Amino acid sequence: NLVRLSIGLENPEDLEADLLQALQN
């Protein structure tokens, strides 16, 4: 979600992991 994306902007590795997880769901 947007909160996770905003965190991801500061932590690209976390954002990448979130995107990969989103693709799996």
Secondary structure of the chain as H, E, C letters: CHHHHHHHHHCHHHHHHHHHHHHHC
Could you list the pLDDT tens digit for every one of the 25 residues in the chain?
667 666 666 777 777 888 888 888 7
Per-residue confidence (pLDDT) for residue 2, from 0 to 100 = 67
CA angle 20, 1, 14 (to 5 degrees): 45
Residues with Cβ within 8 Å of 14's Cβ and at least 6 positions away in sequence, in order, are 4, 7, 8
Cα–Cα distances (Å) from 22 to 2, 8, in that order, read 13, 13
Single pTM value for the model: 0.40
